[in-house]
Amino acid sequence: MKWITKIFEDSDIIVTSKVKPNFVDDVVKFLNYLEEKLNLKTTSKIFISSNNKIVGAYHSEKDVIEISERGVKKYAKKLQLSSYNAILMNVLVHEMHHSITKDSNENRIVNLTNETLKLIINIFSDDKK
């Protein structure tokens, strides 16, 4: 993470060169949706990587949310999902709750994430009517 420290000073979102543009678009769309529909937003920097070892992580020492394209897609494939969107939304919400609350208690973050995802499902259902 040291090599990206300086880059984060200039931008809220940084993307490694190996990440596909459509994945970045999906991340931005979901971030906008969360802010518009739930007023859920973070002041943390967003780092979109191609790290194969993680799906997502909150790096509290740098106040950075890392979302991995490879990790998200690999996990969606493992679950035999036809799309990675549900995994991406879950990971974004989860890591955003870590960054907003600065809480490292995983049980509390999982509960917050689950409640938020229920709200999203209800909003999405209402929007489709």
Distance (Å, rounded) from C-alpha 5 to C-alpha 121? Answer: 36
Q: Which domains does the chain have, with CATH numbers?
A: 2-128 (3.30.2010)
Query: Strand 45-49's sheet: what is its strand order?
Result: 13-15, 45-49, 64-68, 56-59
DSSP β-bridge partners for residue 15: 48
Provide the strand spans (E) within 4-124.
13-15, 45-49, 56-59, 64-68
pLDDT tens figures, 20-29: 999 999 999 9
pLDDT at position 10 is: 52
DSSP β-bridge partners for residue 64: 45, 59
Sign of the dihedral defined by the CA atoms of residues 18, 47, 61, 103, in that order: negative
pLDDT tens figures, 1-54: 444 444 445 568 889 889 999 999 999 999 988 999 899 988 899 999 999 999
pTM of the predicted structure, to 2 decimals: 0.84
